[in-house]
Structure 1
Amino acid sequence: MTDAGRPHRPSGVREVVGYNWPLYAAGALAAGGGWVLARWLPRPAARLVRAGALTAGWLLAASTAATWWVYDRSGLHGYAWLDDLLPEGPGRHLVVATGLDEASRPVAARHPAAPQRTADLYDPALMTEGSIHRARRRVPPVPGSLPARPGALPAATASLDSVLAVFSAHELRRPADRAALFAEAARVLRPGGAFVVVEHLRDAANSAVYGPGALHFLPRSTWLGHAAGAGLRPAAERRIAGLVTAFVFRRAGA
Protein backbone atom coordinates (compact mmCIF):
# COMPACT_ATOMS: atom_id res chain seq x y z
CA MET A 1 0.00 0.00 0.00
CA THR A 2 1.10 3.57 -0.60
CA ASP A 3 1.15 6.26 2.06
CA ALA A 4 -2.31 7.26 0.92
CA GLY A 5 -3.59 3.73 1.60
CA ARG A 6 -4.05 2.87 -2.06
CA PRO A 7 -2.40 -0.01 -3.91
CA HIS A 8 0.73 0.96 -5.79
CA ARG A 9 0.11 1.50 -9.51
CA PRO A 10 3.08 0.50 -11.68
CA SER A 11 4.32 3.18 -14.03
CA GLY A 12 2.46 3.54 -17.31
CA VAL A 13 2.78 6.02 -20.14
CA ARG A 14 1.57 8.90 -17.91
CA GLU A 15 4.27 8.27 -15.34
CA VAL A 16 7.03 7.62 -17.88
CA VAL A 17 6.23 10.91 -19.63
CA GLY A 18 6.32 12.60 -16.23
CA TYR A 19 9.75 11.16 -15.42
CA ASN A 20 11.07 12.24 -18.83
CA TRP A 21 9.03 15.38 -19.48
CA PRO A 22 11.99 17.54 -20.67
CA LEU A 23 12.62 15.11 -23.55
CA TYR A 24 8.95 15.05 -24.52
CA ALA A 25 8.74 18.84 -24.27
CA ALA A 26 11.82 19.20 -26.49
CA GLY A 27 10.30 16.83 -29.04
CA ALA A 28 7.02 18.75 -29.10
CA LEU A 29 8.86 22.05 -29.43
CA ALA A 30 11.02 20.74 -32.27
CA ALA A 31 8.00 19.37 -34.13
CA GLY A 32 5.70 22.36 -33.69
CA GLY A 33 8.34 25.09 -33.78
CA GLY A 34 10.05 23.64 -36.85
CA TRP A 35 6.80 23.48 -38.78
CA VAL A 36 5.97 27.09 -37.97
CA LEU A 37 9.50 28.30 -38.69
CA ALA A 38 9.47 26.63 -42.11
CA ARG A 39 6.77 29.09 -43.26
CA TRP A 40 9.31 31.92 -43.09
CA LEU A 41 12.22 30.18 -44.79
CA PRO A 42 13.21 29.81 -48.46
CA ARG A 43 11.91 26.64 -50.08
CA PRO A 44 15.06 24.46 -49.84
CA ALA A 45 15.62 25.32 -46.18
CA ALA A 46 11.92 25.00 -45.45
CA ARG A 47 11.89 21.45 -46.80
CA LEU A 48 14.76 20.47 -44.53
CA VAL A 49 13.14 22.08 -41.49
CA ARG A 50 9.80 20.42 -42.23
CA ALA A 51 11.55 17.06 -42.60
CA GLY A 52 13.16 17.58 -39.21
CA ALA A 53 9.83 18.59 -37.69
CA LEU A 54 8.14 15.51 -39.12
CA THR A 55 10.91 13.30 -37.77
CA ALA A 56 10.57 14.86 -34.32
CA GLY A 57 6.79 14.44 -34.47
CA TRP A 58 7.13 10.80 -35.51
CA LEU A 59 9.53 10.01 -32.67
CA LEU A 60 7.30 11.79 -30.17
CA ALA A 61 4.23 9.85 -31.29
CA ALA A 62 6.05 6.54 -31.72
CA SER A 63 7.79 6.66 -28.36
CA THR A 64 4.56 7.56 -26.57
CA ALA A 65 2.65 4.77 -28.32
CA ALA A 66 5.44 2.26 -27.63
CA THR A 67 5.58 3.22 -23.97
CA TRP A 68 1.80 2.86 -23.68
CA TRP A 69 1.96 -0.56 -25.32
CA VAL A 70 4.80 -1.85 -23.15
CA TYR A 71 3.83 -0.40 -19.77
CA ASP A 72 0.04 -0.13 -19.96
CA ARG A 73 -1.14 -2.88 -22.31
CA SER A 74 1.39 -5.72 -22.29
CA GLY A 75 1.83 -8.33 -19.59
CA LEU A 76 5.05 -6.74 -18.35
CA HIS A 77 3.72 -5.83 -14.90
CA GLY A 78 1.88 -9.13 -14.50
CA TYR A 79 5.11 -11.16 -14.28
CA ALA A 80 3.71 -14.27 -15.97
CA TRP A 81 6.84 -14.08 -18.11
CA LEU A 82 8.93 -14.62 -14.96
CA ASP A 83 7.08 -17.88 -14.30
CA ASP A 84 8.04 -19.02 -17.79
CA LEU A 85 11.70 -18.09 -17.29
CA LEU A 86 11.91 -19.47 -13.74
CA PRO A 87 9.51 -22.42 -13.69
CA GLU A 88 10.87 -23.34 -10.28
CA GLY A 89 9.87 -19.88 -9.00
CA PRO A 90 12.15 -17.14 -7.67
CA GLY A 91 12.69 -18.94 -4.35
CA ARG A 92 14.70 -16.96 -1.84
CA HIS A 93 15.40 -13.86 -3.88
CA LEU A 94 16.81 -10.35 -3.86
CA VAL A 95 15.32 -7.50 -5.92
CA VAL A 96 17.91 -4.92 -6.99
CA ALA A 97 16.58 -1.37 -7.43
CA THR A 98 18.41 1.79 -8.47
CA GLY A 99 15.88 4.49 -7.68
CA LEU A 100 12.56 3.16 -8.98
CA ASP A 101 11.51 -0.24 -7.64
CA GLU A 102 8.40 -1.60 -9.30
CA ALA A 103 9.36 -5.28 -9.13
CA SER A 104 9.26 -6.06 -5.41
CA ARG A 105 5.52 -5.69 -4.87
CA PRO A 106 4.22 -7.65 -7.89
CA VAL A 107 6.77 -10.44 -7.47
CA ALA A 108 5.92 -10.75 -3.78
CA ALA A 109 2.20 -10.78 -4.61
CA ARG A 110 2.68 -13.49 -7.24
CA HIS A 111 5.00 -15.58 -5.04
CA PRO A 112 3.93 -14.86 -1.44
CA ALA A 113 5.77 -17.89 -0.04
CA ALA A 114 9.12 -16.89 -1.57
CA PRO A 115 11.33 -14.95 0.91
CA GLN A 116 12.21 -11.55 -0.55
CA ARG A 117 14.65 -8.77 0.23
CA THR A 118 15.18 -5.53 -1.70
CA ALA A 119 18.54 -3.84 -2.20
CA ASP A 120 18.41 -0.13 -3.01
CA LEU A 121 21.49 1.00 -4.96
CA TYR A 122 20.24 4.54 -5.54
CA ASP A 123 23.08 7.08 -5.29
CA PRO A 124 22.31 10.60 -6.60
CA ALA A 125 26.02 11.28 -7.00
CA LEU A 126 26.36 8.41 -9.49
CA MET A 127 22.90 8.44 -11.06
CA THR A 128 22.81 11.83 -12.66
CA GLU A 129 19.89 11.35 -15.09
CA GLY A 130 17.07 13.74 -14.26
CA SER A 131 14.47 11.07 -15.01
CA ILE A 132 15.62 8.75 -12.22
CA HIS A 133 15.62 11.63 -9.70
CA ARG A 134 12.06 12.55 -10.67
CA ALA A 135 10.98 8.90 -10.46
CA ARG A 136 12.58 8.60 -7.03
CA ARG A 137 10.63 11.60 -5.75
CA ARG A 138 7.34 10.22 -7.06
CA VAL A 139 7.79 6.59 -6.01
CA PRO A 140 9.48 6.10 -2.61
CA PRO A 141 11.44 2.92 -1.87
CA VAL A 142 9.54 -0.16 -0.80
CA PRO A 143 9.41 -0.34 3.01
CA GLY A 144 12.25 -2.43 4.34
CA SER A 145 14.55 -1.76 1.38
CA LEU A 146 18.20 -2.11 2.34
CA PRO A 147 20.76 0.47 1.15
CA ALA A 148 23.49 -1.21 -0.86
CA ARG A 149 26.24 -0.69 -3.41
CA PRO A 150 26.88 -2.49 -6.71
CA GLY A 151 29.85 -4.26 -5.14
CA ALA A 152 28.16 -5.04 -1.82
CA LEU A 153 24.74 -6.68 -1.95
CA PRO A 154 23.04 -7.48 1.38
CA ALA A 155 23.19 -11.28 1.20
CA ALA A 156 25.54 -14.01 2.24
CA THR A 157 27.57 -15.98 -0.29
CA ALA A 158 25.58 -18.70 -2.11
CA SER A 159 22.45 -17.90 -0.08
CA LEU A 160 19.93 -16.94 -2.78
CA ASP A 161 17.98 -18.78 -5.46
CA SER A 162 17.63 -15.70 -7.65
CA VAL A 163 18.49 -12.03 -8.02
CA LEU A 164 16.13 -9.78 -10.03
CA ALA A 165 17.24 -6.54 -11.68
CA VAL A 166 14.22 -5.13 -13.56
CA PHE A 167 15.02 -1.88 -15.42
CA SER A 168 17.66 -1.11 -12.81
CA ALA A 169 21.07 -2.27 -14.05
CA HIS A 170 21.23 0.27 -16.91
CA GLU A 171 21.08 3.12 -14.38
CA LEU A 172 24.62 2.12 -13.37
CA ARG A 173 26.23 4.16 -16.12
CA ARG A 174 29.83 3.21 -15.29
CA PRO A 175 30.87 -0.18 -16.70
CA ALA A 176 32.84 -0.93 -13.54
CA ASP A 177 29.70 -0.56 -11.42
CA ARG A 178 27.71 -2.89 -13.68
CA ALA A 179 30.54 -5.42 -13.63
CA ALA A 180 30.59 -5.22 -9.83
CA LEU A 181 26.84 -5.86 -9.69
CA PHE A 182 27.15 -8.96 -11.88
CA ALA A 183 30.07 -10.22 -9.77
CA GLU A 184 28.03 -9.72 -6.61
CA ALA A 185 25.04 -11.50 -8.11
CA ALA A 186 27.30 -14.45 -8.89
CA ARG A 187 28.62 -14.40 -5.31
CA VAL A 188 25.25 -14.40 -3.55
CA LEU A 189 23.60 -17.00 -5.81
CA ARG A 190 23.65 -20.65 -4.90
CA PRO A 191 25.04 -23.03 -7.55
CA GLY A 192 22.47 -23.06 -10.36
CA GLY A 193 20.86 -19.85 -9.08
CA ALA A 194 19.49 -17.30 -11.55
CA PHE A 195 20.26 -13.64 -12.18
CA VAL A 196 17.30 -12.12 -14.05
CA VAL A 197 18.07 -8.89 -15.92
CA VAL A 198 15.23 -7.05 -17.68
CA GLU A 199 16.05 -4.12 -19.95
CA HIS A 200 15.28 -2.25 -23.12
CA LEU A 201 18.15 -2.83 -25.53
CA ARG A 202 19.92 -0.44 -27.84
CA ASP A 203 18.75 -2.26 -30.95
CA ALA A 204 16.85 -1.61 -34.17
CA ALA A 205 13.36 -1.93 -32.67
CA ASN A 206 13.97 0.43 -29.75
CA SER A 207 15.91 2.89 -31.93
CA ALA A 208 13.02 3.03 -34.39
CA VAL A 209 10.53 4.17 -31.76
CA TYR A 210 12.72 5.99 -29.23
CA GLY A 211 15.24 7.56 -31.61
CA PRO A 212 18.14 9.20 -29.74
CA GLY A 213 16.51 8.14 -26.48
CA ALA A 214 17.61 4.58 -27.22
CA LEU A 215 21.19 5.66 -26.54
CA HIS A 216 20.28 5.48 -22.85
CA PHE A 217 19.84 1.73 -23.30
CA LEU A 218 22.74 -0.71 -23.61
CA PRO A 219 23.39 -3.26 -26.37
CA ARG A 220 22.69 -6.94 -25.87
CA SER A 221 26.43 -7.63 -26.15
CA THR A 222 27.09 -5.46 -23.08
CA TRP A 223 24.86 -7.59 -20.86
CA LEU A 224 26.28 -10.83 -22.24
CA GLY A 225 29.79 -9.48 -21.66
CA HIS A 226 29.08 -8.57 -18.04
CA ALA A 227 27.61 -12.03 -17.44
CA ALA A 228 30.61 -13.76 -18.98
CA GLY A 229 32.97 -11.64 -16.90
CA ALA A 230 31.19 -12.75 -13.74
CA GLY A 231 31.17 -16.42 -14.69
CA LEU A 232 27.41 -16.50 -15.30
CA ARG A 233 26.10 -18.48 -18.27
CA PRO A 234 23.13 -17.42 -20.42
CA ALA A 235 20.27 -19.82 -19.67
CA ALA A 236 17.17 -18.17 -21.16
CA GLU A 237 16.11 -15.04 -22.99
CA ARG A 238 12.66 -13.70 -23.76
CA ARG A 239 11.28 -10.68 -25.57
CA ILE A 240 8.40 -8.90 -23.83
CA ALA A 241 6.03 -6.69 -25.84
CA GLY A 242 8.56 -6.60 -28.68
CA LEU A 243 10.75 -3.96 -27.01
CA VAL A 244 11.91 -5.38 -23.67
CA THR A 245 14.33 -8.28 -23.19
CA ALA A 246 14.49 -10.51 -20.12
CA PHE A 247 17.73 -12.45 -19.63
CA VAL A 248 18.33 -15.31 -17.24
CA PHE A 249 21.98 -15.90 -16.34
CA ARG A 250 22.81 -18.84 -14.09
CA ARG A 251 25.67 -19.59 -11.79
CA ALA A 252 27.46 -22.82 -12.63
CA GLY A 253 26.74 -25.85 -10.54
CA ALA A 254 23.77 -27.78 -9.28
Structure 2
Amino acid sequence: MTGRPADPGHRPSGVREVIRYNWPMYAAGAATTVAGWALARHLPGRPATLARAVSTTAAALLTTSTLATWHVYDRSELHTYDWLPELLPDGPGDHLVVSTGLDEASRPIAARHPTARQLVADLYDPALTTEGSIRRARRHVPPAPGTVPAHPGALPAATASLDTVLTVLAAHELRRPADRTALFAEAVRTLRPGGTLLLVEHLRDLANTAAYGPGAWHFQPRATWLRHAAEAGMHPAAERRIATLITAFAFRSPSHD
Protein backbone atom coordinates (compact mmCIF):
# COMPACT_ATOMS: atom_id res chain seq x y z
CA MET A 1 0.00 0.00 0.00
CA THR A 2 1.45 3.36 -0.96
CA GLY A 3 0.42 6.99 -0.80
CA ARG A 4 -1.39 8.81 2.03
CA PRO A 5 -3.71 6.35 3.78
CA ALA A 6 -7.36 7.21 3.45
CA ASP A 7 -8.83 8.41 6.72
CA PRO A 8 -12.01 10.44 6.46
CA GLY A 9 -11.90 11.27 10.17
CA HIS A 10 -8.55 12.99 10.32
CA ARG A 11 -6.00 14.71 8.12
CA PRO A 12 -2.46 14.43 9.55
CA SER A 13 -0.92 17.71 10.63
CA GLY A 14 0.97 19.78 8.07
CA VAL A 15 2.71 23.13 8.29
CA ARG A 16 -0.61 24.93 8.73
CA GLU A 17 -1.51 22.88 11.80
CA VAL A 18 2.01 23.10 13.25
CA ILE A 19 1.83 26.89 13.06
CA ARG A 20 -1.63 26.77 14.62
CA TYR A 21 -0.38 24.67 17.54
CA ASN A 22 2.75 26.79 18.01
CA TRP A 23 1.37 30.22 17.12
CA PRO A 24 2.89 32.06 20.15
CA MET A 25 6.38 31.09 18.99
CA TYR A 26 5.68 32.22 15.43
CA ALA A 27 4.09 35.44 16.69
CA ALA A 28 7.14 36.15 18.85
CA GLY A 29 9.46 35.55 15.89
CA ALA A 30 7.44 37.86 13.66
CA ALA A 31 7.29 40.55 16.36
CA THR A 32 11.06 40.32 16.88
CA THR A 33 11.64 40.69 13.14
CA VAL A 34 9.46 43.77 12.84
CA ALA A 35 10.61 45.37 16.09
CA GLY A 36 14.29 44.91 15.26
CA TRP A 37 14.06 46.68 11.92
CA ALA A 38 11.84 49.41 13.36
CA LEU A 39 14.22 49.97 16.28
CA ALA A 40 17.27 50.06 14.01
CA ARG A 41 15.86 53.13 12.25
CA HIS A 42 16.12 55.11 15.49
CA LEU A 43 19.47 53.83 16.75
CA PRO A 44 23.00 54.93 15.84
CA GLY A 45 25.87 52.83 14.52
CA ARG A 46 26.52 49.55 16.32
CA PRO A 47 23.21 49.37 18.22
CA ALA A 48 21.38 49.72 14.88
CA THR A 49 23.54 46.99 13.36
CA LEU A 50 22.80 44.71 16.32
CA ALA A 51 19.06 45.37 16.06
CA ARG A 52 19.11 44.53 12.35
CA ALA A 53 21.12 41.38 13.05
CA VAL A 54 18.59 40.22 15.64
CA SER A 55 15.75 40.97 13.22
CA THR A 56 17.45 39.14 10.36
CA THR A 57 18.19 36.11 12.55
CA ALA A 58 14.57 35.93 13.70
CA ALA A 59 13.33 36.19 10.12
CA ALA A 60 15.77 33.50 8.98
CA LEU A 61 14.66 31.11 11.75
CA LEU A 62 11.01 31.69 10.90
CA THR A 63 11.72 30.96 7.26
CA THR A 64 13.90 27.88 7.75
CA SER A 65 11.64 26.32 10.41
CA THR A 66 8.53 26.87 8.31
CA LEU A 67 10.13 25.42 5.19
CA ALA A 68 11.53 22.47 7.14
CA THR A 69 8.13 21.76 8.68
CA TRP A 70 6.45 21.96 5.27
CA HIS A 71 9.05 19.58 3.81
CA VAL A 72 8.66 17.02 6.62
CA TYR A 73 4.94 17.14 7.30
CA ASP A 74 3.44 18.06 3.93
CA ARG A 75 5.82 16.73 1.31
CA SER A 76 7.67 13.73 2.75
CA GLU A 77 6.65 10.11 3.28
CA LEU A 78 6.32 10.61 7.05
CA HIS A 79 2.52 10.40 7.16
CA THR A 80 2.20 7.80 4.41
CA TYR A 81 4.20 5.24 6.44
CA ASP A 82 5.79 3.94 3.24
CA TRP A 83 9.00 3.71 5.30
CA LEU A 84 7.47 1.31 7.83
CA PRO A 85 8.16 -2.00 6.00
CA GLU A 86 11.89 -1.25 6.06
CA LEU A 87 11.84 -1.28 9.86
CA LEU A 88 9.00 -3.79 10.35
CA PRO A 89 9.26 -6.12 7.33
CA ASP A 90 6.72 -8.53 8.86
CA GLY A 91 4.33 -5.74 9.81
CA PRO A 92 3.52 -4.53 13.33
CA GLY A 93 1.54 -7.62 14.34
CA ASP A 94 -0.19 -7.19 17.68
CA HIS A 95 0.83 -3.67 18.53
CA LEU A 96 0.41 -0.73 20.88
CA VAL A 97 0.56 2.88 19.67
CA VAL A 98 1.73 5.26 22.40
CA SER A 99 1.01 8.99 22.20
CA THR A 100 1.46 11.92 24.59
CA GLY A 101 -1.49 14.10 23.70
CA LEU A 102 -1.46 14.04 19.89
CA ASP A 103 -2.00 10.69 18.17
CA GLU A 104 -1.51 10.81 14.41
CA ALA A 105 -0.08 7.30 14.07
CA SER A 106 -2.81 4.85 15.09
CA ARG A 107 -5.23 5.65 12.25
CA PRO A 108 -2.80 5.38 9.31
CA ILE A 109 -1.14 2.29 10.77
CA ALA A 110 -4.54 0.64 11.23
CA ALA A 111 -5.40 1.59 7.63
CA ARG A 112 -2.23 -0.08 6.35
CA HIS A 113 -2.65 -3.18 8.54
CA PRO A 114 -6.39 -3.66 9.04
CA THR A 115 -6.07 -7.25 10.30
CA ALA A 116 -3.48 -6.47 12.98
CA ARG A 117 -4.67 -6.11 16.57
CA GLN A 118 -4.10 -2.53 17.71
CA LEU A 119 -4.18 -0.93 21.14
CA VAL A 120 -3.77 2.82 21.67
CA ALA A 121 -2.47 4.46 24.85
CA ASP A 122 -2.29 8.17 25.64
CA LEU A 123 0.30 9.28 28.22
CA TYR A 124 -0.94 12.87 28.26
CA ASP A 125 -0.90 14.34 31.76
CA PRO A 126 -1.70 18.06 31.98
CA ALA A 127 0.38 18.33 35.15
CA LEU A 128 3.49 17.05 33.36
CA THR A 129 2.90 17.80 29.68
CA THR A 130 2.99 21.56 30.04
CA GLU A 131 3.69 22.53 26.42
CA GLY A 132 0.95 24.85 25.18
CA SER A 133 1.31 23.38 21.69
CA ILE A 134 0.22 19.95 22.97
CA ARG A 135 -2.86 21.38 24.69
CA ARG A 136 -3.87 23.20 21.50
CA ALA A 137 -3.19 20.13 19.33
CA ARG A 138 -5.20 17.93 21.66
CA ARG A 139 -8.21 20.23 21.38
CA HIS A 140 -7.91 20.11 17.59
CA VAL A 141 -7.27 16.35 17.32
CA PRO A 142 -9.06 14.43 20.08
CA PRO A 143 -7.86 10.91 20.96
CA ALA A 144 -9.00 8.13 18.63
CA PRO A 145 -11.98 6.06 19.82
CA GLY A 146 -10.86 3.35 22.21
CA THR A 147 -7.73 5.18 23.37
CA VAL A 148 -6.78 4.23 26.93
CA PRO A 149 -5.30 6.85 29.30
CA ALA A 150 -2.01 5.50 30.63
CA HIS A 151 1.26 6.31 32.39
CA PRO A 152 4.85 5.69 31.26
CA GLY A 153 5.24 3.02 33.94
CA ALA A 154 1.90 1.32 33.30
CA LEU A 155 1.05 0.59 29.67
CA PRO A 156 -2.34 -1.05 29.01
CA ALA A 157 -1.08 -4.39 27.70
CA ALA A 158 -0.38 -7.74 29.27
CA THR A 159 3.16 -8.98 29.75
CA ALA A 160 4.69 -10.47 26.57
CA SER A 161 1.50 -9.86 24.59
CA LEU A 162 2.74 -7.54 21.82
CA ASP A 163 4.91 -7.77 18.73
CA THR A 164 5.48 -4.01 18.47
CA VAL A 165 5.23 -0.87 20.57
CA LEU A 166 5.19 2.29 18.46
CA THR A 167 5.84 5.81 19.71
CA VAL A 168 5.79 8.33 16.86
CA LEU A 169 6.87 11.90 17.69
CA ALA A 170 5.64 11.33 21.23
CA ALA A 171 8.38 10.15 23.60
CA HIS A 172 10.25 13.49 23.62
CA GLU A 173 7.23 15.04 25.38
CA LEU A 174 8.22 13.00 28.43
CA ARG A 175 10.55 15.65 29.80
CA ARG A 176 11.64 13.74 32.91
CA PRO A 177 14.31 11.08 32.26
CA ALA A 178 12.65 8.78 34.78
CA ASP A 179 9.45 8.77 32.71
CA ARG A 180 11.34 7.86 29.56
CA THR A 181 13.18 5.11 31.43
CA ALA A 182 9.85 3.78 32.69
CA LEU A 183 8.38 3.80 29.17
CA PHE A 184 11.26 1.74 27.76
CA ALA A 185 11.01 -0.71 30.67
CA GLU A 186 7.27 -1.08 30.10
CA ALA A 187 7.84 -1.65 26.38
CA VAL A 188 10.15 -4.54 27.22
CA ARG A 189 7.58 -5.95 29.65
CA THR A 190 4.74 -5.89 27.13
CA LEU A 191 6.78 -7.15 24.15
CA ARG A 192 7.20 -10.77 23.27
CA PRO A 193 10.83 -11.97 23.13
CA GLY A 194 12.43 -10.38 20.09
CA GLY A 195 9.64 -7.81 19.76
CA THR A 196 10.25 -4.26 18.55
CA LEU A 197 9.99 -0.81 20.06
CA LEU A 198 9.63 1.57 17.11
CA LEU A 199 10.66 5.09 18.14
CA VAL A 200 10.26 7.98 15.68
CA GLU A 201 11.65 11.38 16.66
CA HIS A 202 13.28 14.63 15.67
CA LEU A 203 16.75 14.65 17.21
CA ARG A 204 18.77 17.40 18.79
CA ASP A 205 21.38 17.27 16.06
CA LEU A 206 23.03 19.49 13.46
CA ALA A 207 20.27 19.15 10.86
CA ASN A 208 17.43 19.98 13.25
CA THR A 209 19.41 22.81 14.88
CA ALA A 210 20.01 24.34 11.45
CA ALA A 211 16.30 24.10 10.69
CA TYR A 212 14.78 25.03 14.04
CA GLY A 213 17.51 26.90 15.90
CA PRO A 214 17.00 26.87 19.69
CA GLY A 215 13.74 24.97 19.12
CA ALA A 216 15.82 21.83 18.50
CA TRP A 217 16.60 21.74 22.24
CA HIS A 218 13.04 20.51 22.78
CA PHE A 219 14.20 17.22 21.21
CA GLN A 220 16.55 14.64 22.70
CA PRO A 221 19.97 13.74 21.28
CA ARG A 222 20.38 10.38 19.56
CA ALA A 223 22.60 9.22 22.44
CA THR A 224 19.72 9.69 24.91
CA TRP A 225 17.47 7.23 23.07
CA LEU A 226 20.29 4.73 22.64
CA ARG A 227 21.03 4.97 26.36
CA HIS A 228 17.39 4.41 27.35
CA ALA A 229 17.26 1.37 25.07
CA ALA A 230 20.47 -0.07 26.50
CA GLU A 231 19.26 0.48 30.07
CA ALA A 232 16.12 -1.50 29.22
CA GLY A 233 18.16 -4.35 27.74
CA MET A 234 17.18 -3.56 24.15
CA HIS A 235 19.50 -3.34 21.17
CA PRO A 236 19.20 -1.23 18.00
CA ALA A 237 18.11 -3.43 15.09
CA ALA A 238 17.55 -0.77 12.41
CA GLU A 239 17.62 2.99 11.97
CA ARG A 240 16.27 5.15 9.16
CA ARG A 241 16.15 8.84 8.35
CA ILE A 242 12.86 10.28 7.08
CA ALA A 243 13.00 13.60 5.24
CA THR A 244 16.45 14.30 6.75
CA LEU A 245 15.01 15.68 10.00
CA ILE A 246 13.23 12.62 11.42
CA THR A 247 14.92 9.46 12.69
CA ALA A 248 13.12 6.15 13.12
CA PHE A 249 14.71 3.56 15.42
CA ALA A 250 13.77 -0.10 15.72
CA PHE A 251 14.92 -1.39 19.12
CA ARG A 252 14.66 -5.13 19.66
CA SER A 253 13.67 -6.60 23.01
CA PRO A 254 15.73 -9.44 24.48
CA SER A 255 15.16 -12.87 22.95
CA HIS A 256 14.95 -15.92 25.17
CA ASP A 257 16.18 -18.24 22.43
Partner of residue 169 from structure 1, selected from 164, 168, 171? 171
1:58-101 deviations in Å (ceiling 9; x for gaps)? 00000000000000000000001111111010000000011000
Secondary structure in 2 matching 1:101: coil
Provide the C-alpha distance between the structure 1 equivalents of 2:155 and 2:236, rounded to a whole number of angstroms.
21
Could you say which residue in structure 2 is the equivalent of 1:132?
134
**Matched residue, 2:82:** 80
Alignment partners' CA distance in 2, 1:133 and 1:179: 24
- Aligned partner of 2:160: which letter? A
CA offset digits 1:190-215 (Å, max 9, x no partner): 01100000000000100011011111
TM-score when normalising by structure 2: 0.96
TM-score using structure 1 length: 0.97
Match of 1:243 among 234, 242, 245: 245
| Alignment counterpart, residue 36 of structure 1, candidates 20, 24, 38 | 38
The 5-angstrom pairing of residues 1-254 of structure 1 reads: 6-253=8-255
SS in 2 for 1:77: coil
Q: Compute the displacement of 1:6 (Å).
A: 4.2
Matches of 2:254 and 2:124, distance apart in 1: 29
Partners of 2:46 and 2:174 in 1: CA distance: 44
Distance 1:77 1:243 in 2: 14
> What is the alpha-carbon distance in structure 1 between the residues aligned to residue 174 and residue 144 of structure 2?
20
Which AA in structure 2 matches 1:34? G
**Is the partner of 2:104 in helix, strand or coil?**
coil
CA drift of 1:146 comes to 0.7
Letter in 2 for 1:74: S
Q: Give the secondary structure class of the aligned counterpart of 2:83.
A: helix
Take 1:151 and 1:244, find their aligned partners in 2: how far apart are those partners?
26
Aligned residues with identical type, % of pairs = 70
How much does 1:112 deviate? Answer: 0.6
Residue identity in the other structure for 1:10: P
Aligned partners of 2:201 and 2:93: how far apart in 1? 22
How far apart, in 1, do the equivalents of 2:85 and 2:29 lie? 38
**Structure 2: which 5+ residue stretches go unaligned?**
1-6
**In 2: Cα distance, 1:32 partner to 1:235 partner:** 48
For 1:180, give the aligned amino acid. A
Q: How much does 1:7 deviate?
A: 3.0
Distance 2:235 2:160 in 1: 16
- SS across alignment from 1:197: strand
Deviations 1:105-137 (A, max 9, x none): 000000111110101111100101111111111
- Deviation, 1:43, is 1.4
Distance (Å, rounded) in 2 between the aligned partners of 1:120 and 1:128: 15
2:3 is aligned to: none
Structure 2 counterpart SS, 1:199: strand
- RMSD across aligned C-alpha pairs, in angstroms? 1.0
